[in-house]
């Protein structure tokens, strides 16, 4: 297993590539943003909005946002409604698990703060239970059914509401190292290259699941998709998870402070709405050799908010409860850094 020389992301992350200098594709993409003319991109964004603004007549929705209620959703809705003066309708997919207090507050807040209607999908619980178990046991992907709906439901709804301009946040494959190497505003290809690619129907049927249960998990027809023009906001404006969090907080977004100190996480503001959903991120460690803390420390390094050394310490402390090493500053003595139950760190050193 190799680690990126800049951000410490391992090469076991799906889709990531390393160059001759041992630097990952996500770091190289982030660096290449310096060469982007963001003023020109913003003008492109204005032209794109101008094309659709008011398209369904006075009072009609003219764009849509796929929202979770999270920090990025807040940022996207703020940008479209308050900066670009569009009239967005919001589409959300719930996961049927108990929500955190912050998650309940945030979904309500995004509607109240920006004055938006949310059309929410509560997936078929019977099918969710059957498919969660099957996909957990077979692929280690318990949340496939909900993940898939997060991709497909907004497309179906955008077709029904005649809002071709459907907003997604970031191009995950491009920003964090994946298969997408050429950047484009269009999110049309997302459904085929995302984390929840379609499964053959025979994989889904059986155990009580019938074709009637699955129509929303299918991609809309080619004819319907041809009418849509979905986009990634991260193409038009510089995307930064931490800055989005700051803007969201200024508009009433709640993080997990005072509610829950999550293990294996370097932040308390990403994917915070549901506890059970975190099984997905916990499974990254056995599958890919890194957990959610590495995703964030890698971003913090790219944003210039953390050094590589600080990140390694955090990763090791967050992704394990203790970390044994040879202390080079102490003649190679054996030492253990461990996490105290009060949240601090302890160090036990052997006498060299």
For Zn ion, the binding residues (CB under 5 A) are: 4, 6-7, 9, 24, 27
3-state secondary structure of 37: coil
CB of residue 315 vs Zn ion: minimum separation in angstroms? 13
- Region of 53 (left: φ > 0; alpha: ψ -120 to 50; beta: rest) is beta
What are the C-alpha distances in Å from 101 to residues 11, 107, 133, 176, 204?
36, 10, 26, 29, 33
- Region of 139 (left: φ > 0; alpha: ψ -120 to 50; beta: rest) is alpha
CB of residue 154 vs Zn ion: minimum separation in angstroms? 30
Nearer to Zn ion, 24 or 121 (CB): 24
Nearer to Zn ion, 17 or 100 (CB): 17
The C-alpha atoms of residue 269 and residue 181 are separated, in whole angstroms, by: 28
Residues 6+ apart with CB under 8 A from 3: 9, 10, 11
Nearer to Zn ion, 33 or 129 (CB): 33
CB of residue 30 vs Zn ion: minimum separation in angstroms? 8
Nearer to Zn ion, 163 or 171 (CB): 171
Angle (CA) 187-192-193 rounded to 5° is 80
Most distant CA atoms of the chain, gap in Å:
77
Nearer to Zn ion, 7 or 90 (CB): 7
CA nearest 207: which of 149, 138, 140? Answer: 138
The C-alpha atoms of residue 188 and residue 190 are separated, in whole angstroms, by: 6
CA nearest 293: which of 100, 57, 10, 74? Answer: 10
CB of residue 26 vs Zn ion: minimum separation in angstroms? 5
Question: Residue 55's CB: how many other CB atoms inside 10 A?
Answer: 15
Question: Residue 283's CB: how many other CB atoms inside 10 A?
Answer: 17
Nearer to Zn ion, 9 or 64 (CB): 9
CB of residue 172 vs Zn ion: minimum separation in angstroms? 15
Nearer to Zn ion, 8 or 163 (CB): 8
User: Helix and strand tally (H, E) in the chain?
Assistant: 16, 8
CB of residue 141 vs Zn ion: minimum separation in angstroms? 25
DSSP 326: E
Nearer to Zn ion, 4 or 146 (CB): 4
CB of residue 28 vs Zn ion: minimum separation in angstroms? 8
CB of residue 269 vs Zn ion: minimum separation in angstroms? 22
Nearer to Zn ion, 4 or 63 (CB): 4
Straight-line distance from the first to the last Cα atom of the chain, in angstroms, rounded to the nearest whole number? 30
CB of residue 72 vs Zn ion: minimum separation in angstroms? 21
């Amino acid at each position: 297993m190799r680690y990126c020389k800049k951000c410490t992301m391992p090469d076991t992350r799906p889709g990531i590539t390393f160059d001759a200098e041992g630097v990952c594709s996500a770091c190289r993409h982030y660096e290449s943003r310096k060469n982007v003319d963001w003023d020109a991109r913003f003008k492109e964004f204005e032209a794109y909005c101008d094309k659709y603004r008011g398209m369904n007549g006075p009072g009609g929705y003219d764009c849509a946002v796929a929202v979770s209620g999270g920090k990025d959703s807040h940022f996207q809705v703020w940008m479209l409604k308050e900066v670009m003066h569009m009239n967005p309708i919001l589409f959300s997919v719930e996961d049927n698990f108990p929500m955190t207090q912050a998650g309940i507050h945030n979904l309500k807040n995004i509607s109240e703060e920006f004055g938006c209607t949310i059309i929410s999908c509560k997936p078929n619980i019977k099918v969710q239970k059957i498919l969660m178990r099957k996909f957990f046991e077979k692929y280690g992907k318990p949340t496939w059914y909900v993940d898939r709906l997060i991709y497909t439901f907004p497309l179906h709804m955008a077709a029904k509401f005649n809002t071709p301009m459907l907003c997604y946040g970031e191009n995950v494959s491009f920003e964090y190292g994946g298969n997408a190497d050429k950047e484009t505003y269009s999110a049309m290809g997302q459904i085929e290259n995302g984390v929840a690619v379609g499964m053959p129907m025979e994989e889904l049927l059986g155990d009580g699941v019938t074709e009637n249960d699955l129509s929303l998990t299918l991609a809309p027809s080619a004819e319907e998709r041809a009418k849509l023009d979905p986009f990634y906001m991260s193409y038009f404006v510089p995307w930064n998870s931490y800055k989005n969090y700051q803007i969201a907080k200024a508009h009433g977004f709640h993080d997990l402070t005072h509610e829950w100190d999550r293990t294996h996480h370097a932040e308390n503001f990403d994917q915070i709405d549901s506890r059970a959903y975190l099984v997905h991120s916990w499974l990254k460690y056995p599958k890919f050799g890194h957990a959610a803390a590495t995703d964030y420390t890698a971003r913090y390094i790219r944003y210039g908010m953390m050094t590589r050394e600080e990140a390694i310490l955090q990763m090791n402390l967050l992704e394990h409860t203790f970390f044994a090493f040879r202390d080079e500053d102490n003649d190679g003595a054996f030492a253990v850094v461990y996490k105290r139950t009060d949240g601090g760190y302890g160090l036990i050193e052997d006498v060299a």
